[in-house]
Amino acid sequence: MPVDATPDPYADPMAFGQRMQILRTRRGLSRPVTAGLLGRSPSWVKQVERGEIGMPKLPVVLRIAELLRVRDLADLTGDQSAPVDLFIGPGHPRLQAVRDAVNTLSLSSDREAPPAAHLSARLAKAWAARHQAANHREVLGELLPGLIRDAQLAVRQADSAADRRAAQAVLSETYSLAQFFLAYQPESALLWRVAERGMVAAQESEDPHAIGVAAWLAAQAHRDSGPTHFDAADSMTMEALAYLERFLPDGDDRVRAIAGALQFEAGYTAARRGMKGAAWGWWDKAQTTAKRLPTTYYHPVTSFSQAIMGAHAVTVAVELRAGGESVRQANTADAQAIPSRPRLARHRIEEARAYQLNGQQETALATLERAHEAAPETIRYNGYARRIVLEETESKVPERRRRAAVLAERLGLLAA
């Protein structure tokens, strides 16, 4: 390796502190910011990175891994003997079939494509099935290959410009559905490819709802890539909101809901930046939009609704690292009003983060058990949940340690 080359944190041997410094720098985080998010001093971070302090205990290591969005704990610790994926879950058994459907583009076919209306009805049933299923990736993995191929075929066989736009809208939403399946699986390149195709199809459709959904998912993908991508997430969100503004006066509930979902995404990213005023300001705007929707309305893609705003408030408080406020919001939110099993499980995970921030580890663990009851696949693929469970396997309280070990085994966390 040339002497001026950037060190590779995955190369052995390399000390924990060196790996931490390289990964922190790649994420665009300064030492003071890193220290603040970890609840430590900048001098502590500096000492760890220089090797003046040895590798911290597991709970601290896990929080560093969460902050740096490390995929595998071994990438940070250097210990390859027991790899533990954190923010990337296991590959689903149906991943290969979905990958093949995305990557295969048959330009000739003897069969006739289903009408766009028929595909839209299938999509609606797929979204409903996802919300009702405890193992929603299994459901989507079964439905997606056929939907992807049929939607692609409908675009190619469209006879008129109007038919082609309608088919593109269906194809875009099909790719949106695929992103829910692919998220947090070991196929980041495929996820980005699907996101980009979804955005292209949405723009070709000229459908404001399809464009809004594609932008919403793209903004999430950028934000989850780390602080250096927050500007891209905000840019995507703001451009989509500006585009949708002219459709809102006469738009249907779907258009209003995707605008509200984007408003919350702006608040979510602001909270990740630590911008308290902006985060709650955008939440207020989303709340105003939600109140303009029918009480029973529930957006099938984003879950945006009146029912979800309490859960969104928990997320904002958690991302702002406000433990007491997080618990207050968790106690206020009506979880039973959330009709989607995977979204309810996600909310339970956010509640668990709130309780842990507030020093209520036992309640946090019990809440993760409730998340597992609601939707096992949601918690299995969620990095925050995985981190909390692993921390509790090191608890000094025997009962918490035992419960955490049972849940870790259910999640397949410690498998080599």
Q: Is the pLDDT of residue 80 over 80?
A: no
Identify which of 63, 77, 80, 66 has the alpha carbon closest to the alpha carbon of residue 20.
77
Q: Which of the two residues, 188 and 120, has the higher pLDDT score?
A: 120
| Band of residue 225 on the pLDDT scale cut at 50, 70, 90 | confident
pLDDT of 145 over the 60 cut: yes
Q: What is the pLDDT of residue 369?
A: 96
Q: Tokens for 387?
A: 């981190």
Token output for 323: 């433990």
Q: 171, 201 in Cβ contact below 8 A?
A: yes
pLDDT at 6: 47
Please tell me whether residues 43 and 100 are part of one structural domain. Answer: no
Q: Would you say residue 274 lies in a domain? A: no
Q: How far is CA 138 from CA 52, 228, 293, in A?
A: 47, 33, 31
Here the CATH number for the domain that contains residue 22 is 1.10.260.40
Q: Using pLDDT thresholds of 50, 70 and 90, give the confidence band for residue 121.
A: very high
Question: Is the confidence at residue 81, as pLDDT, over 80?
Answer: no
Residue 116: band (very low, low, confident or very high) from pLDDT cuts 50, 70, 90: confident
The larger pLDDT score, comparing residue 63 to residue 84, is at 63
Average pLDDT rounded to a whole number, residues 132-141: 93
How much is the average pLDDT of 116-124? 93
Residue 331 has a pLDDT of 95
Res. 403 pLDDT band, cuts 50 70 90 = very high
Packing angle, helices 188-205 and 208-224, rounded to 10: 160
Q: For residues 147 and 400, what is the distance between their CA atoms, to the nearest angstrom?
A: 44
Q: Average pLDDT for residues 246-263, to the nearest whole number?
A: 95
Any idea which of 166-180, 213-227, 273-287 has the lowest mean pLDDT? 213-227
Per-residue pLDDT of 58-74, as tens digits, reads 778 877 887 787 767 77
* Residue 379 structural domain: 307-416
Measure the CA angle with vertex 212, ends 208 and 218; round to 5°: 145
Reading the block at residue 228, the tokens are: 């250096």
Taking the C-alpha atoms of residue 385 and residue 377, their distance in angstroms, rounded to an integer, is: 12
Residue 108 has a pLDDT of: 65
Residue after which a domain boundary falls, among 206, 238, 273:
206
Number of domains in the chain: 3
pTM of the model: 0.81
Instruction: Compute the average pLDDT of residues 275-295.
Output: 97
Asked, for residue 118, whether it belongs to a domain, the answer is: yes
pLDDT at 191 > cutoff 60 = yes
Same domain, 45 and 141: no
Quick one: angle between helices 161-182 and 95-103, nearest 10?
A: 150
| Section 140-165 average pLDDT | 94
Task: Give the integer Cα–Cα distance in Å for 104 and 81.
Answer: 37
Residue 107 sits in the same domain as residue 57: no
| Same-domain pairing of 358 and 316 | yes
Query: Could you give the dihedral angle defined by the CA atoms of residues 404, 410, 413 and 415, in that order, rounded to the nearest 10 degrees?
Result: 120
CATH of the domain at 345: 1.25.40
